[in-house]
């Protein structure tokens, strides 16, 4: 989704903010722009398209200045064109604003402003906000900071904003409500961004703004205040644990491929220091203090979106199986708006890579209001969901830059397995079963390595099926969510229509689609449903479908009815879904590359969905 970066310091801001925008490209966007202040003059350049198009525009219309703000926009109000791109400038030409989020009451504000003689050039909600700030600034004789603050009190919706004003050429004002902002504190230099990635190569010292906070940055320091109460707040500086290497793709052609390969290490990182081999259990420090309450609750809810929801579905299966607790799972966008029956006897688990997904955040806020205990499973340290939940577990998969989630998913499932193990052992799971699970988890990296070694074979499968218009993914039990995840990966990056189904459901409808042009990916380990899945594959084959089987080991039955077989190795059935996800990620990746798609930034998608 939209990205923000700003700089105030001794250097020319343009190279810093342009580099910052490149670091933020992964979030998904369709236009970009900058505004700088140079000796009291405001200069703005903005452009539909990519950051490289903006760079070209800056060669045509160069500008420089020690204060600069920059934005990548993911269109919500108004199509992605030059006019709707940020920054937006007020009608006096003095104030520039960039904005993430949505101003919900922008229509009524716009009408009021129009009546006061303001004319608008764009269709955006953001322009309404900058004109509102400007009107207050001109009419009420307030400082720039106070004008921004006053305008924000009239706004309904979500925002992360950064603004500059030619009349106060030593000041940046930024504020957040619903969209994250991080302040980077360097040596006489300050950075403001929607996440830490544009900041990390300059400073590790940051402050995460909390909801409803506004910061004024000048060459002599910064002041943070609450927008509503107008009181100054003192906040701790946090050291971020993120290296530049982690946000670069190195020798890999795409971040997604790098992140797929990262999994050999990241799944282990998720478990580091958490597995208790002799006790057949796990230690999860972030929920330790809440365990006496958690283990006694009557039910769990899991809420999430997209890929994280698929991890949650596996979580439901394994928590019910090992910890013997009823688990409901629900899309956060549904959970937040319907009547839910929650109380102190419920744990609501929110799963989110970014920790910023608007619907998931709203769901946990609702859960807290209803008295449930909330637990976050997040990848981004210090993210909103991580901070707003009562307790939680970080996935420690490292920064995920590719828009399609890969390593975060396997890390989420790994955390859920450890949670099921930990709660299971406290609720009657036998030591032997626990030890077997821990041993399985502990040896997973070898299986991941073995699976990654099949990449060329999977690439060949992609090559031979790249022309397909549709794919079907089938799995049973724990591997049904993997079928959903495989289908999602396929459609989001290769734009091939794909559906995931429980294998037995196929004959209740989707079987009508099968013909010789339809590749059907079947997740087929030798577990207790193997015979059933063989029957499902036979039904596909009988209709000339092309079968791509993902299995633990090859066998004559599978060979007889499959067109392609990917073998991931024999393992405990409980870790199979994690390992079997990897060939599906690789398949989607190569399908996308063969079809010439933008793998890391698929069209219309955003990495962090901070609007509902
Ligand atoms: C798909 C994908 C999305 C996200 C979803 C939730 O590859 O990445 O479906 O999983 O937008 O995002 P988070 O996990 O950040 O809450």
Q: How many angstroms does the Cα of residue 605 sit away from the middle of ligand 1? A: 10
Q: How many angstroms does the Cα of residue 537 sit away from the middle of ligand 1? A: 30
Atom of ligand 1 nearest to the CA of 306: 9
Q: Is the dihedral of CA 65, 69, 73, 76 positive or negative?
A: negative
CATH of the domain at 562: 3.40.50.10490
Atom of ligand 1 nearest to the CA of 360: 16
Q: Would you please indicate which residues are annotated as catalytic (active-site) residues?
A: 2, 607
Tell me, yes or no, whether 131 and 12 share the same domain: yes
Tell me, yes or no, whether 54 and 186 share the same domain: yes
Tell me, yes or no, whether 402 and 503 share the same domain: no
Tell me, yes or no, whether 280 and 412 share the same domain: yes
CATH of the domain at 229: 3.60.20.10
Atom of ligand 1 nearest to the CA of 606: 11
Tell me, yes or no, whether 104 and 20 share the same domain: yes
Other C-beta atoms closer than 10 Å to the C-beta of 117 total 8
Atom of ligand 1 nearest to the CA of 309: 10
Of 387, 420, 442, the residue at which a domain comes to its end is 442
Taking only the tens place, the pLDDT of each residue in 289-308 is: 999 999 999 999 999 999 99
Q: How many angstroms does the Cα of residue 516 sit away from the middle of ligand 1? A: 33
pLDDT for res 240: 86
Of 391, 413, 442, the residue at which a domain comes to its end is 442
Tell me, yes or no, whether 183 and 306 share the same domain: no
Atom of ligand 1 nearest to the CA of 404: 7
Q: In what order do the strands lie in the sheet with 88-89?
A: 88-89, 95-103, 157-165, 171-177, 213-218, 221-226, 232-233
pLDDT for res 247: 82
Largest CA distance in the chain: 83
Q: How many angstroms does the Cα of residue 425 sit away from the middle of ligand 1? A: 31
Tell me, yes or no, whether 512 and 541 share the same domain: yes
Q: Which of 74, 405, 412, 601 to mutate to test the pocket of ligand 1 (most atoms within 8 A of CB)?
A: 405
Q: How many angstroms does the Cα of residue 256 sit away from the middle of ligand 1? A: 14
Q: Which of 609, 611, 612 to mutate to test the pocket of ligand 1 (most atoms within 8 A of CB)?
A: 609
CB–CB of 608/357 below 8 Å? yes
Going by alpha carbons, the residue nearest to atom 16 of ligand 1 is 352
Tell me, yes or no, whether 216 and 332 share the same domain: no
Going by alpha carbons, the residue nearest to atom 9 of ligand 1 is 306
Tell me, yes or no, whether 204 and 256 share the same domain: no
For ligand 1, residues with CB inside 6 Å are 305-308, 352-354, 357, 360, 404-405, 488, 492, 608-609
pLDDT for res 243: 78
Low-confidence ranges of the chain (pLDDT < 70): none
Beta-strand runs (E) in 459-545: 470-475, 497-502, 519-523
Instruction: Respond yes or no on whether the N-terminal peptide bond of residue 140 is cis (omega within 30° of 0).
Output: no
Tell me, yes or no, whether 369 and 467 share the same domain: no
Q: Which of 26, 308, 352, 600 to mutate to test the pocket of ligand 1 (most atoms within 8 A of CB)?
A: 308
pLDDT for res 58: 96
Residue 261 belongs to domain spanning: 250-442
Cα–Cα distance, 308 to 522 (Å, whole number)? 21
Of 185, 217, 246, the residue at which a domain comes to its end is 246
């Amino acid at each position: 989704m939209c990205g923000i970066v700003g700089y105030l310091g001794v250097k020319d801001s343009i190279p810093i903010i342009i580099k910052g925008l490149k670091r933020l490209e992964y979030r998904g966007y369709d236009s970009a722009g900058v505004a700088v202040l140079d000796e009291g003059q405001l200069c703005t350049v903005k452009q539909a398209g990519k950051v490289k198009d903006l760079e070209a525009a800056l060669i045509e219309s160069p500008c420089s200045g020690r204060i600069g703000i920059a934005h990548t926009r993911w269109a919500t109000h108004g199509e992605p064109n030059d006019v709707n791109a940020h920054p937006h400038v007020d009608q006096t030409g003095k104030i520039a604003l960039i904005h993430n989020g949505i101003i919900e009451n922008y229509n009524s504000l716009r009408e009021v402003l129009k009546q006061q003689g303001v004319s608008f050039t764009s269709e955006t909600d953001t322009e309404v906000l900058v004109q509102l700030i400007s009107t207050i600034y001109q009419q009420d004789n307030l400082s720039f900071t106070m004008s921004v603050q006053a305008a924000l009190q009239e706004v309904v919706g979500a925002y992360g904003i950064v603004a500059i004003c030619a009349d106060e050429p030593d000041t940046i004002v930024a504020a957040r409500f619903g969209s994250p902002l991080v302040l980077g504190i360097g040596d006489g230099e300050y950075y403001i961004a929607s996440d830490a990635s544009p900041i990390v190569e300059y400073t590790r010292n940051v402050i995460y703004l909390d909801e409803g906070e506004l910061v004024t940055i000048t060459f002599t320091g910064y002041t943070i205040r609450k927008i509503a109460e107008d009181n100054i707040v003192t906040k701790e500086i946090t050291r971020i644990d993120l290296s530049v290497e982690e946000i670069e793709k190195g020798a890999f052609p795409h971040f997604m491929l790098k992140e797929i390969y990262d999994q050999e290490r990241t799944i282990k990182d998720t478990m580091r220091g958490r597995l208790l081999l002799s006790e057949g259990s796990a230690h999860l420090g972030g929920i330790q203090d809440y365990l006496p309450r958690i283990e006694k609750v009557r039910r769990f809810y899991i809420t999430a979106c997209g890929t994280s929801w698929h991890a949650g579905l596996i979580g439901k299966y394994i928590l019910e199986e090992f910890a013997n607790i009823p688990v409901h799972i629900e899309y956060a966008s549904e959970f937040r708006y319907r009547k839910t029956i929650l109380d102190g006897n419920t744990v609501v688990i929110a799963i989110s890579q970014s920790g910023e997904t608007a619907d998931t955040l709203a769901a946990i806020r609702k859960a807290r209001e209803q008295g449930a205990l909330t637990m976050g499973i997040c990848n981004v340290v210090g993210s909103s969901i991580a901070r707003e939940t009562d307790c939680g577990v970080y996935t420690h998969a490292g920064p995920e830059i590719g828009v399609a989630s890969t390593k975060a998913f396997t890390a989420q499932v790994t955390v859920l397995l450890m949670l099921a193990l930990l709660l299971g052992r406290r609720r009657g799971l036998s030591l032997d079963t626990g030890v077997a699970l821990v041993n399985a988890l502990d040896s997973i990296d070898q299986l991941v390595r073995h699976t990654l070694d099949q990449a060329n074979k999977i690439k060949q499968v992609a090559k031979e099926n790249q022309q397909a218009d549709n794919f079907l993914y089938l799995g049973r039990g724990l591997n049904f969510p993997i079928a959903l995840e495989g289908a999602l990966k396929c459609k989001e990056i290769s734009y091939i229509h794909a559906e995931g189904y429980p294998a037995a459901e196929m004959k209740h409808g989707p079987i009508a689609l099968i013909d010789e042009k339809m590749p059907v990916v079947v997740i087929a380990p030798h577990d207790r449903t193997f015979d059933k899945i063989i029957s499902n594959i036979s039904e596909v084959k009988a209709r000339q479908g092309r079968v791509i089987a993902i299995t633990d080991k090859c066998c004559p039955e599978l060979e007889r009815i499959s067109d392609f077989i990917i073998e991931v190795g024999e393992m405990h059935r409980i870790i199979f879904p994690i390992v079997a996800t990897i060939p599906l990620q690789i398949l989607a990746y190569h399908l996308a590359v063969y079809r010439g798609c933008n793998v890391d930034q698929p069209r219309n998608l955003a990495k962090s969905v901070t609007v509902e």
